[in-house]
Amino acid sequence: MKAVNIAIDGPSGAGKSTLARKLAARLGYVYVDTGALYRAIAYDCISHKADSEEQILARLPEIRLSLGYIDGAQHVFVNGEDVSGSIRTAEVSMGASRVAAIPKVREFLFNLQQEMAKTHSVVMDGRDIGTVVLPDADVKIFLTASAEKRAERRYIELNEKQPGKQTYEEVLADVIRRDEQDMNREIAPLRQAPDAVLVDTTDADLAQAEEMLLNACKEKLGS
């Protein structure tokens, strides 16, 4: 049976990871969080004080990335270390945007992402899945929400993990800055694929957003 590929793109804080994970569980597909892969590279580079593009590229041959599933949840491993929790910080988020703008980094991850999509029915989320990584995906969704709503959600998430670490205003500034970086980078900028379904969750709660994605898939797949 041919693998079915669902590509979900969208800006930072749109809820792609949470909703893609839930959608994959509903459909019985493998969930692939590509953003976590870029975050993992950024985390390694930050850990080794690799700041310049030259230093980052020098780190790539030393990085062994793998995905594992523990109790149904995706875990990301860098050289055998489970970094799933460590990569969800504001510093790593900005670092991920920087490394994702480097062509050699994108090439480094491209084959891994495509191979997973060939061998499994997947829900894959990121910034350029429907436009670059899986241009022939069976379903393409562009998931978004207002910058203010995305910052509000991110602020609540961060405050639960590290109370008082950042103010809402600082998180909103990070979201806007990340959008600028992602939309204006030269390589694979964030944009909606022409054939992608736009799903705006500004006024939707988590359950409503999940149903919006599921309905979009049903309409495209005809079931």
DSSP 127: S
How far apart, in whole angstroms, are the C-alpha atoms of residue 165 and residue 207?
Answer: 28
User: Is there a domain that residue 222 lies in?
Assistant: no
Whether 72 has a pLDDT exceeding 70, the answer reads no
pLDDT tens-digit readout, 182-208: 898 887 789 999 999 999 999 999 999
Q: How many domains does the chain have?
A: 1
Confidence of residue 13 (pLDDT cuts 50, 70, 90): confident
Query: Closest by alpha carbon to 150, among 200, 99, 91?
Result: 200
User: Is there a domain that residue 167 lies in?
Assistant: yes
Confidence of residue 97 (pLDDT cuts 50, 70, 90): confident
User: Is there a domain that residue 74 lies in?
Assistant: yes
In this predicted structure, what is the pLDDT of residue 163?
A: 84
Side-chain half-sphere CA neighbours of 177 within 13 A = 14
Whether 119 has a pLDDT exceeding 80, the answer reads yes
Range of the domain at 37: 5-217
CATH code, domain with 213: 3.40.50.300
User: Is there a domain that residue 134 lies in?
Assistant: yes
Alpha helices in 139-205 (DSSP H): 147-161, 168-184
How far apart, in whole angstroms, are the C-alpha atoms of residue 5 and residue 49?
Answer: 36
